[in-house]
Amino acid sequence: MVNQELHIENPKPTLSMHPQKFALWLFIVSIVMLFAALTSAYIVKQADGNWLSFQLPGIFAINTVIIALSSLTMHLAYLAAKRDDLSRIRWMLLITVVLGLLFLVGQYISWAELVAGDVYFVSNYASGSFIYIFTGLHAVHLISGIVFLFITFWSSVRLNIHSKNMVRIEMCMTYWHFLGGLWLYLYLFLLFNL
């Protein structure tokens, strides 16, 4: 009798991702493409001339600090979920929501400052229009992030976020950090290209 060894190949590991996380990443990529197109259009339009130069509202710097702090509190909520510190998850999510709302108030104040400086959405100068488009679109996405934060908060209240169930808070954290990074990009872009 011949000794035959069976050689069974183990399947190669595949790259896998939770379907909701994949959808979130597709959404983030589409936002990146939108803002890349807008900043490209900004540079092209600026080269055409007829460009109004003005100071960025001072509240933009304050908003940058606010969104950086909100990113920190979001990350602290995530770390609390990894440790099953349910009370801390909720507090950090609520603080993140408050900071997000403060950021939106800051955006409103910045628009009032722009109007006070005779920079309007509709005018003969495209530079003003771009500022409103950049900040307005970012604000819309930030509102969607705040809604996501409330959904995540409600999940934490229902005890659905803990060390064994991290998908929702990981997605919320990813999106919120992305929004913070996007704001930082827009702020620096405008600071150096106005």
Q: For residue 159, tell me if it sits in a domain.
A: yes
Neighbours of 36 (CB within 10 A): 11
**For residues 118 and 131, is the Cβ–Cβ distance under 8 A?**
no
Number of domains in the chain: 1
Q: For residue 43, tell me if it sits in a domain.
A: no
Would you state the pLDDT for residue 61?
A: 95
Q: For residue 87, tell me if it sits in a domain.
A: yes
Would you state the pLDDT for residue 18?
A: 83
Would you state the pLDDT for residue 113?
A: 94
pLDDT in tens, 67-91: 999 999 999 999 999 999 999 999 9
pTM for this predicted structure: 0.88
CATH number of the domain where residue 84 is located: 1.20.120.80
Find the domain containing 105 and state its range: 57-193
Q: 3-class secondary structure for 96-158? A: HHHHHHHHHHHHHHHHHHHHHCCCCCCCCCHHHHHHHHHHHHHHHHHHHHHHHHHHHHHHHHC
Q: For residue 74, tell me if it sits in a domain.
A: yes
Q: For residue 25, tell me if it sits in a domain.
A: no
